[in-house]
Chain A
Amino acid sequence: MTFITHMDLIIILYFSHFLHSFKPLQTNAIKTSKYNPFTFLPLNLFEQFQRIANAYFLFLLVLQVIPQISSLSWFTTVVPLVLVLTVTAAKDATDDIVSKCVLCTISPLRSEKWMDVQVGDIIRLENNQFVTADLLLLSSSEPLNLVYIETAELDGLVYFLFNVYNLKPAVRCEPPNNRLDRFTGTLTYAGQKYPLDNEKILLRGCTLRNTEWCFGLVLFAGPETKLMQNSGKTTFKRTSIDRLMNVLVLCIFGFLAFMCTILAIGNCFWEMNEGSQFMVFLPRQDGNNAAFSAFLTFWSYVIILNTVVPISLYVSVEIIRLGNSFYIDWDRKMYFSRYNTPAEARTTTLNEELGQIKYIFSDKTGTLTQNVMTFNKCSINGKSYGEIQKLEITKHTDTVDFSFNPLADPRFMFHDHALVEAVKLEDPEVHAFFRLLALCHTVMAEEKKEGELFYQAQSPDEGALVTAARNFGFVFRSRTPDSVSIVEMGEERSYELLAILDFNNVRKRMSIIVRSPEGKLCLYCKGADTIIYERLHQSCSKLMDVTTEHLNEFAGEGLRTLALAYKNLDEEYFNQWKQRHHEASTELDNQESKLDELYEEIEKDLLLLGATAIEDKLQDGVPQTIEQLSKANIKIWVLTGDKQETAENIGYSCNLLREEMNDVFIVSGNSPEDVRQELRSVKRLYHFSLDKRTLGKGVKLIADELVNGEYGLVINGHSLAYALEGSMELEFLRTACMCKAVICCRVTPLQKAQVVELVKKYKQAVTLAIGDGANDVSMIKAAHIGVGISGQEGMQAVLSSDYSFAQFRFLQRLLLVHGRWSYLRMCKFLRYFFYKNFTFTFVHFWYGFFCGFSAQTVYDEWFITLYNLVYTALPVLGMSLFDQDVNDVWSFQYPQLYIPGQLNLYFSKKAFFKCALHSCYSSMVLFFIPYAAMHNTVRDDGKDVADYQSFALLTQTCLLFAVTIQLGLEMSYWTAVNTFFVLGSLAMYFAVTFTMYSNGMFLILPSAFPFIGTARNSLNQPNMWLTILLTSILCVLPVVTYRFLFIQLCPTINDKVRMDLLPKQHLPPPPLRTRIRRTSSRRSGYAFSHAQGYGDLVTSGRFLRRPALSGSSGFANIGRTTTGFSPMGRSAGYSPTGRPQNAKVPDVEVTSLQMYRTVRDPAF
């Protein structure tokens, strides 16, 4: 046996140096930071000017420097541009620093160590550690050098033994690639070559479980690891609003050119008709003609009207997203105290998209479920145990006291005292029931200290069952290849293990045949109720009926059920059967079918004992969350690697599939034709008209089809592979979209991503993927938004996600509260921002007609410079950071509020167009009212007031009032900060204006502040203020009227809710009640995440008893070890004894087990 001794370590060190010497090294650090202090400024500036917007402003700046064109001073562009570049550069710099920090925290242990790991290093991993490089497994603490790992990619057990004495080893292996399921390489030592395959490799992304330690040789590190190669290219995600904004900005540019053209043409005519005459006072320079003047005018107006696309738009959008991301980070209601993990917004650019999610793709294990199985209920001999009388299970509920049993697992909880009583009363059926559970399994036990038992179960279901038996006084203690020792009510008994009739997916049951200490032969069988029932003796028909009722009840609650039965065997018959069994198992052809026949033969006329119900513990609040989300019209697809039954079961228990659904279709065809047939039959059943729209480049858009009734769809991985093929994908998508719930089981990570891509491609909908494991990475990256479940081990999903938090239930808060608010805020912001800038700009357009199209600005240049940066920046930012239509509690109360986001109602091309029209109206008011009011008027002392500077001041003041009041109208949540920003900005405007127009400023720089005295001389006039009042009212009242009538005539869901809340605003909201209805079910609750092959393992004689307690470090920290690790169901195809034991095996293809056999183990 391999205990790594000091000598070994020296060899290992030599070994790693050896590898270092010939291989270019790849360290484990992954470089993501872009800058260093020296390259930051040039690189960042270069990058920033690559953005079209910034390049555009640079271009404007160039235009402004040309004196013939310049219609505005250079500072009007330079000040905002510099500000924007600085802010963006600061943000980039912090992002860069943050991304460096993220790397430092990849490993919960010693972070820098993992980063320093290099190819060729030999590393020691301890229990519950996370594997961060692809390793060749060298040895482990476990017998057989087994390593238990929890992972999404590699399941079950990986084991490899490797003796490093006297060797000059070298590993030759394939180049880095992304295939998780295979690995080829050879290990050369002592002149011998050993093939290496997938089973000897520990891949980055898995976690060591139930294994004290292991040693591994780093084969690939950092970006070369299979996981990293497999995780897909990180694409830059953009929100749909981003894309819409790009389109709109292009439209705006078009419109800008259009306006400038009109004004240029106007200028051309003006020059021909009037300008040429006006030359008396304004001679044309250089004798330019009208056409050239028009050309220059065009560019001059480009400068003036450029404020339709203000540079501050992009900065503000970034700031708003950043702010809303911080809210997510700060939310205490998304903080999970058990793991001490707050929610984290890992990207700051996708927030508003959270308010538009239409499809959620969720992983199951670790996301919906806790991955903890508990023995919850059972039915023994027609009596059901474990029912709790309508009381919520809380921590304080009375639990059964197992103190009578010294070997009981203290973590096991049960709430029905009747069962313990029954055990204590020595009810024979109850005893037989638990005896069966204690005997019929493939669990291995280890007892490190007297009375401290640890079970290593291949499936968590089994672990839960054996633990239950243990607590009820039937303690499975140890096993040898041909015996099982249990402690029955304190009395140690050893059963002779005669045969294990192993589990597989067709049989859906397992049996053992044992001889009791008294010499009685007995067959114990557990399996799917449907299967067991077919094999029962007629005498149990009455019991069957009662048990069926119980089974239905259990299934209705989403519990996983198994039926238990037994049969006493006749010695003679058994001997004869055993003989035949031996013959069959040594036969070369048809071995399996012959064995199956034999199993069939003996597993009949069974006597029913009862049924067990195991709860695959959901995370807290999952059914409620799913119900809430589906009320918000979000479709949830579960994509899981689990078996169909398990997945279906979870579907029921988390309320995704419901009993009252009209139908649940199951697609599990094994060939393209079958799958097509199945999909078609679903559609034929419910004939729907199909509506196709063509989108852009010929990509068809599938509209949602209206279906009456609720349907569910369950599709199997292999069927999905066909369904995702080009010819069938549309058919699949249509069928799937008709259904309320879709569950895809046994899917590979790639398929998960494919499903997401499919929906993204044909549905114009926003998708979200949520998962916790490395197998979800591809899906998380593919979806518009990826969410990682954080907190426990395995950070891959989190690292590639956009948002992360610890519990699935936080998703509803992320979407229904943060997402909705972010979307609302962003839309309000954009609508208002476009409004305020269009209004600002259009006034110039109208003025063009009254100033000879000369590109004369209406406003003071300082006002133009500061309008977006100072006077209107904070109020709108305040709105976009604080606004909420209804608070979070009511958002939960009315999930329907989420629907407008999915339909893109708040900001779309239409909304934008409305904005532009509104601006057009406002700008006309803002120009023509002052025009008419100032026309030919004078001050109350007879002096002029109709001069350009007074007019500019009047118009800009009117504008500022109008847009501020409009903002007030948009804002539905006036916090003190908002009020301060709004009033402060107005006050700021007057303060700045009076300062700019003061004597002092003029005396310092006469040419920069020519507006001296304007404010004092015109703002003391009553008709100025009357004009301001008039324009403000005229701008706002139509909007108020329109909105009021709209609310009255066709209220939106939002209006309804707010109206509804109006009287209740100050009342505490009613507590959230989501009743989960249960109806009795007619379906089987069978779901057993067990895999084939373990029967052979435990009986093969190759199972090694754990060596006597070594002085190893404290291994007490096992938690729920018996159920805590879960090789996922995908391993079902894998069998350690997949090959006939006596088959001749060519050298190159030795499996791990045979490999084991070739090495003489010194321990035995």
Chain B
Amino acid sequence: MVKEEQELANRPDNTAFTQQRLPAWQPMLSAGIVIPGFVLIGLAFIGIGVALFVTSRSIQVLEFDYTGVDQNSPCFKCSDPKVLNCVCNLNFSIDSLFKGTVFFYYGLSNYYQNFRKYGVSKDDVQLSGDLTNFKTPSDTCSPYAYDSNNQPIVPCGSIANSMFNDAFKLYQIINGTNTLVPFDGKGIAWWTDYNIKYRNPSITPLKNAFNNTVKPIFWSKPAYELDTSDPANNGFINQNFLVWMRRAALPNFRKLYGRINEGDYAQGLPAGNYSLEIAYNYPVLSFDGRKKVVFSNVSWMGGKNEFLGIAYLVIGSMCVFMSIVMLIVYAKFKFPEEDGVPGH
């Protein structure tokens, strides 16, 4: 016995793994799975598609281009970059209640926030409140790291420098008088951005942290004076700044400016005439860009986007259609049993 064991010393182990006998599930694309599968997926997709489509249809959107390319457009006068501190009014009316909460967005087109060099042109360390990087901004910010006097720019980089600086005020015109419809600009940025990613240096007053630095070249006000009304909304955690810094994925994008959720307007914008007062500062015409404002409400699926609903419907129907085609093919060219496998 011992001898026998020794003789078989080199015998490989008899395990399912070494002998490649692991139990396994061997699925096959058989008609019994594929055709019903297609039908089920098709029906499910049509169902989802209908839901999405209906939801999307129920979302109200009001959109105005105020770039001022057209001579008749109210902001035409401001589109000349030489005109400074230009204000224009955009008047519009709403026929029926624009259900709330209404969100107010500004939108830019042909604007490449996703350009690589633009995108890297910021200093995350500086923006997280590290004072060392106030004095020596990262190289990635170049050419907006230092001004011509070699003073460090805070916040540095292209993104911050190009921050959108048009300002909007909405009035409802009731019997000829303008009633301000307040925009709630708080909490429009991501919680993580506001609380973790962007931090002001823990120095009070905030202004002192910015000693020996200069504001970004295009900015009219330094970072610590962005919102004079609310001291907590200044520096790197200014909500509009945060929204801007979250750069868009595509060249056409919109960004949240404020919510209309106060007072009479909490239920939405009632029917009537409105006037939007625009402080027109941001030049886009030089690169053929467009600016717009958007009023929109949201649903469980977010903002209005009909694509998903339609796509689901189309694909669902195609699945059903293909299942029929496959059924026909299967019935007609059914894998011939008698042919079988050669030799059997």
A interface with B by C-beta (< 8 Å): 67, 71, 274, 277-278, 280-283, 285, 300, 327, 329-333, 335, 337, 340-342, 631, 821, 850-852, 854-856, 882, 884, 887-888, 894, 896, 929, 931-952, 972-978, 999, 1002-1003, 1006-1007, 1010, 1012-1013, 1016-1017, 1021-1023, 1026-1027, 1030, 1033-1034, 1037, 1040-1041, 1043-1045, 1047-1049, 1051, 1053, 1056-1060, 1062, 1065
CB distance from B113 to the nearest CB of A (A): 7
Whether the Cβ atoms of A938 and B103 lie closer than 8 Å is yes
Q: How far is the CA of A335 from the CA of B13 in the complex (A)?
A: 11
Contacts of B299 in A (CB 8 A): 940
Contacts of B256 in A (CB 8 A): 938, 942-944
Q: Which of the residues A71, A887, A977, A1022 comes within 8 Å of B301, measured between beta carbons? A: A1022
Query: With A285-B142, A340-B9 given, is the CB distance from A948 to B305 under 8 Å?
Result: no
Task: Identify 7 new A-B residue pairs, CB closer than 8 A, beyond the known A936-B304, A946-B248, A976-B22.
Answer: A278-B112, A932-B308, A940-B298, A1002-B196, A1013-B191, A1017-B190, A1058-B28
Q: How far is the CA of A419 from the CA of B193 in the complex (A)?
A: 102
Cβ of B7 within 8 Å of any chain A Cβ, yes or no, is yes
Whether the Cβ atoms of A341 and B10 lie closer than 8 Å is yes
Q: Which of the residues A300, A337, A884, A1040 comes within 8 Å of B7, measured between beta carbons? A: A337
Contacts of A929 in B (CB 8 A): 311
A–B complex contacts, Cβ < 8 Å, 5 sampled: A340-B10, A852-B114, A943-B256, A946-B248, A1016-B192
Whether the Cβ atoms of A856 and B115 lie closer than 8 Å is yes
Whether the Cβ atoms of A932 and B311 lie closer than 8 Å is yes
Q: Of all chain B residues, which has the CB nearest A895?
A: B343
Q: Which of the residues A332, A340, A977 comes within 8 Å of B19, measured between beta carbons? A: A332
Whether the Cβ atoms of B333 and A940 lie closer than 8 Å is no
Query: With A340-B10, A938-B296, A1060-B341 given, is the CB distance from A1013 to B193 under 8 Å?
Result: yes
Q: Which of the residues B8, B18, B301 comes within 8 Å of A330, measured between beta carbons? A: B18
Whether the Cβ atoms of B18 and A944 lie closer than 8 Å is no
Q: What 1/0 mask marks residues of chain B from 46 to 57 whose CB sits below 8 Å from any chain A CB?
A: 001000100000
Q: How far is the CA of A1012 from the CA of B195 in the complex (A)?
A: 11
Q: How far is the CA of A1037 from the CA of B115 in the complex (A)?
A: 34
Contacts of A887 in B (CB 8 A): 21
Query: With A332-B19, A944-B246, A975-B22 given, is the CB distance from A1049 to B112 under 8 Å?
Result: no
CB distance from A1056 to the nearest CB of B (A): 5
Contacts of B344 in A (CB 8 A): 1060
Whether the Cβ atoms of B197 and A1002 lie closer than 8 Å is yes
Query: With A850-B251, A943-B188, A1007-B125 given, is the CB distance from A1065 to B26 under 8 Å?
Result: yes
Interface hit among B91-99, B207-215, B221-229, B281-289 = B281-289
Cβ of B315 within 8 Å of any chain A Cβ, yes or no, is yes
Cβ of B150 within 8 Å of any chain A Cβ, yes or no, is no
Query: With A951-B249, A1037-B319, A1047-B335 given, is the CB distance from A1062 to B301 under 8 Å?
Result: no
Q: How far is the CA of A807 from the CA of B8 in the complex (A)?
A: 16
Cβ of B174 within 8 Å of any chain A Cβ, yes or no, is no
Q: What 1/0 mask marks residues of chain B from 310 to 344 whose CB sits below 8 Å from any chain A CB?
A: 01100100010010001001100111000111111
Contacts of A1059 in B (CB 8 A): 28, 30, 335
Cβ of B82 within 8 Å of any chain A Cβ, yes or no, is no
Q: Which of the residues A896, A1002, A1048 comes within 8 Å of B335, measured between beta carbons? A: A1048
Contacts of A1041 in B (CB 8 A): 38, 322, 326
Whether the Cβ atoms of B197 and A1013 lie closer than 8 Å is yes
Q: How far is the CA of A882 from the CA of B18 in the complex (A)?
A: 11
Cβ of B29 within 8 Å of any chain A Cβ, yes or no, is yes
Query: How many residues on B have C-beta within 8 angstroms of the other chain's C-beta atoms?
Result: 106
Whether the Cβ atoms of A943 and B189 lie closer than 8 Å is yes
Q: Of all chain B residues, which has the CB nearest A1041?
A: B322
Query: With A285-B143, A896-B342, A1049-B329 given, is the CB distance from A945 to B302 under 8 Å?
Result: yes
Whether the Cβ atoms of B41 and A1037 lie closer than 8 Å is yes
Contacts of A896 in B (CB 8 A): 341-343
Q: Which of the residues B121, B315, B340 comes within 8 Å of A1030, measured between beta carbons? A: B315
Contacts of A1047 in B (CB 8 A): 29, 335
Whether the Cβ atoms of A974 and B24 lie closer than 8 Å is yes
Contacts of B335 in A (CB 8 A): 1047-1048, 1051, 1056, 1059
Q: Of all chain A residues, which has the CB nearest B104?
A: A942
Q: Which of the residues B7, B112, B249 comes within 8 Å of A947, measured between beta carbons? A: B249
CB distance from A368 to the nearest CB of B (A): 24
Query: With A274-B288, A329-B12, A851-B115 given, is the CB distance from A1026 to B246 under 8 Å?
Result: no
Query: With A282-B117, A340-B7, A854-B116 given, is the CB distance from A972 to B27 under 8 Å?
Result: yes
Q: What 1/0 mask marks residues of chain B from 1 to 39 whose CB sits below 8 Å from any chain A CB?
A: 000000111111110001111111111111100100010
Contacts of A951 in B (CB 8 A): 249-250
Q: How far is the CA of A945 from the CA of B339 in the complex (A)?
A: 57
Q: Which of the residues B14, B130, B252 comes within 8 Å of A936, measured between beta carbons? A: B252
Interface centre among B26, B34, B139 (most CB of A within 10 A): B26
Q: Which of the residues A342, A943, A1049 comes within 8 Å of B11, measured between beta carbons? A: A342
Whether the Cβ atoms of B300 and A856 lie closer than 8 Å is no
Interface residues in B167-197 by Cβ distance below 8 A to A read: 188-193, 196-197
Whether the Cβ atoms of A1034 and B307 lie closer than 8 Å is no
Q: Which of the residues A935, A977, A1057 comes within 8 Å of B307, measured between beta carbons? A: A935
Q: How far is the CA of A1078 from the CA of B27 in the complex (A)?
A: 43
Cβ of B154 within 8 Å of any chain A Cβ, yes or no, is no
Whether the Cβ atoms of B312 and A934 lie closer than 8 Å is no
Whether the Cβ atoms of B333 and A1048 lie closer than 8 Å is yes
Whether the Cβ atoms of A330 and B13 lie closer than 8 Å is yes
Q: How far is the CA of A280 from the CA of B144 in the complex (A)?
A: 12
Query: With A934-B250, A935-B252 given, is the CB distance from A277 to B311 under 8 Å?
Result: no
Query: With A894-B341, A1062-B28 given, is the CB distance from A946 to B301 under 8 Å?
Result: no
Whether the Cβ atoms of A940 and B18 lie closer than 8 Å is no
Q: Which of the residues A333, A882, A948 comes within 8 Å of B247, measured between beta carbons? A: A948
Query: With A942-B256, A1043-B29 given, is the CB distance from A281 to B250 under 8 Å?
Result: no
Q: How far is the CA of A1003 from the CA of B197 in the complex (A)?
A: 8
Whether the Cβ atoms of A331 and B117 lie closer than 8 Å is no
Query: With A942-B256, A948-B249, A950-B249 given, is the CB distance from A1049 to B311 under 8 Å?
Result: no
Whether the Cβ atoms of B305 and A933 lie closer than 8 Å is yes
Interface centre among A1033, A1044, A1065 (most CB of B within 10 A): A1044
Q: Of all chain B residues, which has the CB nearest A341?
A: B10
Contacts of B113 in A (CB 8 A): 948
Cβ of B280 within 8 Å of any chain A Cβ, yes or no, is no
In the complex, the 8 A-B pairs of residues with the closest C-beta atoms, listed nearest first: A1013-B192, A951-B249, A277-B287, A330-B18, A938-B303, A854-B116, A281-B162, A942-B103
Cβ of B265 within 8 Å of any chain A Cβ, yes or no, is no
Q: What 1/0 mask marks residues of chain B from 233 to 252 whose CB sits below 8 Å from any chain A CB?
A: 00000000001001111111
CB distance from B53 to the nearest CB of A (A): 12
Q: How far is the CA of A1048 from the CA of B32 in the complex (A)?
A: 13
Whether the Cβ atoms of A1023 and B19 lie closer than 8 Å is no
CB distance from A802 to the nearest CB of B (A): 19
Whether the Cβ atoms of B41 and A948 lie closer than 8 Å is no
CB distance from B334 to the nearest CB of A (A): 7
CB distance from A340 to the nearest CB of B (A): 5
Q: How far is the CA of A938 from the CA of B255 in the complex (A)?
A: 9
Contacts of A851 in B (CB 8 A): 112, 114-116, 251
Whether the Cβ atoms of B162 and A973 lie closer than 8 Å is no
CB distance from B281 to the nearest CB of A (A): 13
Contacts of A283 in B (CB 8 A): 143
Q: How far is the CA of A282 from the CA of B114 in the complex (A)?
A: 12
Q: How far is the CA of A838 from the CA of B196 in the complex (A)?
A: 36
Contacts of A935 in B (CB 8 A): 250, 252, 305, 307
Whether the Cβ atoms of B115 and A280 lie closer than 8 Å is no
Q: Of all chain B residues, which has the CB nearest A883?
A: B24
Q: How far is the CA of A1037 from the CA of B339 in the complex (A)?
A: 29
Q: Of all chain B residues, which has the CB nearest A327?
A: B20
Contacts of A281 in B (CB 8 A): 118, 158, 161-162
Interface centre among B20, B138, B256, B288 (most CB of A within 10 A): B20
Contacts of B147 in A (CB 8 A): none
